Amino acid sequence: MNLPYFLRLVCLCLASFFLLHTALGLATWQVAPAAIRLAEKMRARAAARFVFFLRLLPVMLATILVLGLGVPSYVWLEPPGMHERMGFACGAAALLGAALWSISIGRVMHAALRSGRYARECKRIGREISTESSLVPANLLDVETPLIALAGIFRARVLISRKVMDELTRGELEAALRHENAHRVARDNLKRFVFLLAPGIFPVMRGFGGLERAWARFSEWAADDQATGGDSRLSLLLAAALVRVARMGAAPQPSMAVTPLIAGDLGLPARVDRLLRGETAPPAPLWSRTALVGTLAVLASALIVGAMHWATVLRAAHEALERLLS
Amino acid sequence: MIHFLKQSMAKFREPQRQSFLGPLETSVMEILWERGESNVREVVERFDRRLAYTTVMTTLDRLFKKGLLDRTKVDRSFIYSPKLSRKQWEQKRAGELVAGFLRGPEPFRELLLSCFLDVVGGHDPMLLDELERKIRARRRDLLRRRES
């Protein structure tokens, strides 16, 4: 198939993105269990950040390589205005790359629209309330469903159902709201949005479920840590609130489906035990600062080396693209 | 196969369809909440705009089939009355809305919600008892420490 200059560039970008992303995704998938074990030794917020970074690494690296090397090498070294033949393999990879992005964009648009509608409806049927600490904007929903959640990506607000409001004690409610506020401050809903946008390994297989579940667990722990700040009284109140909310949902409710991934009691006992053992006191953030400085140093070195050999790197990238095209 | 799919979709949408009212249905419900028991003619007369008798009759019949109205036959016409008060209806609708959104294989991912507790159902009561015992023990321990 003969393609003009610009269309060839688009196909090459998609094909090279697919190949790079798949290779990096499979590598990440392989190291994920070990990485999660390593993260379990860190404090919760650092672990959540680490797992978040690892989940996004394939898509970030593939995008940087395609946009930072592939496109400049093509623009610089490919003679414009001529048609060139594209091979079947390249076409198939480009199609798969397009499918990856289409599915991700479709998924994220569906989630954003659904969430937007949900938040609007909840705001309409709910009543704005001022909470004891006024930490976070909250809406009270006059429903029997045991719900307490943070909704919204940028202007997040807490949704509390009447049932939760009535049954939690003042202290427990305060602790629960501090927990939701910690999610708001950490922008966890935005991170969920980014997860949905980041493509899976293949169009029909996401392959990063383990990392995403680990991130969800660590982000809950981190929010618990942030909410209690090492205070044993607050930890106790938060643990009591968790069990009480779980108890509300324990009655059979045919209209409420249980999410298979998290069904059972895997998350709750661990969270309660952490809170009761007082493991939530935040240690000095020395490790994460060292890790950040180390990562920045590695990136800066890579950039300097790349800049010194820029022409050679671009020629090599162009050669790889030519091979991919044929 | 198509019949099976249609039935499955209908089952899935049933509660949402029940709680969703169109503008005319809402107006009819408002009249009945305000007036109480009414026949078709009385509802037609309460409307600000002119509506055909058959339109209102069909709407009332639809609301009856949705389970929102009761009806009794007096002479040759039906007398309709609301099954739920406006407040009860709003509560029911809100509950269905919240539950409806949370239904599905991965509701929290689809909804971009950070839930206080991921699972809102299905916790083992024995495990919850055990956790509560631990909390009580810890509370006693803290109290003892504070006193000493």
Nearest-CA neighbor of A224 among A48, A34, A56?
Answer: A48
The pTM (predicted TM-score) of the whole model is 0.74
**Over residues A16-33, mean pLDDT:** 93
| Residue A251 pLDDT class (50, 70, 90 cuts) | very low
- The pLDDT score that the predictor gives to residue A264 is 38
Identify from A147, A150, A195, A261 which residue to disrupt to test chain B contact, counting B C-beta atoms within 10 A and taking the largest count: A147
Shortest distance between the Cα of B2 and any Cα of chain A, in A, equals 24
Listing DSSP states for A63-126 in one string gives HHHIIIIIHHHHHHHSPTT--EE--HHHHHHHHHHHHHHHHHHHHHHHHHHHHHHHHHHHHHHS
Which residues, numbered 304 to 323 in chain A, qualify as contacts with chain B under a Cβ-Cβ cut-off of 8 Å?
none
pLDDT in tens, A268-295: 888 898 888 876 655 555 556 777 788 8
- The pLDDT score that the predictor gives to residue A245 is 86
**Over residues B84-104, mean pLDDT:** 72
d(CA B60, CA B64): 6
- Interchain contact A264–B (C-beta under 8 A): yes
**Over residues A200-220, mean pLDDT:** 86
Q: Give, in words, the CATH class of B2-86.
A: mainly alpha
Tell me if B118 and A110 make a contact (CB, 8 A cut-off).
Answer: no
- The pLDDT score that the predictor gives to residue A255 is 28
* pLDDT: which is higher, B148 or A42: A42
| Residue B64 pLDDT class (50, 70, 90 cuts) | very high
Mean pLDDT of chain A: 82
Q: At what angle do helices A88-125 and A188-197 cross, to 10 degrees?
A: 150
**Over residues A180-199, mean pLDDT:** 89
| Residue A16 pLDDT class (50, 70, 90 cuts) | very high
Domain spans, chain B:
2-86
- The pLDDT score that the predictor gives to residue A23 is 94
Tell me if A161 and B98 make a contact (CB, 8 A cut-off).
Answer: yes
Residue B122 main-chain phi, psi, to 5 deg: 90, 10
Is the pLDDT at B69 greater than 80? The verdict is yes
Highest mean pLDDT among A88-92, B78-82, B83-87: B78-82
Question: A159 pairs with which residues across the strands?
Answer: A139, A149
- Interchain contact A277–B (C-beta under 8 A): no
Take residue B99 and report the two structure tokens written for it. 């539950």
Domain spans, chain A:
2-291+307-325
Nearest-CA neighbor of B60 among B103, B24, B36, B16?
Answer: B24
| Residue B5 pLDDT class (50, 70, 90 cuts) | low
Asked if residues A203 and A100 have their Cβ atoms less than 8 Å apart, the reply is yes
Is the pLDDT at B38 greater than 60? The verdict is yes
Which residues, numbered 100 to 119 in chain A, qualify as contacts with chain B under a Cβ-Cβ cut-off of 8 Å?
110-112, 114-115, 118
- Interchain contact A146–B (C-beta under 8 A): yes
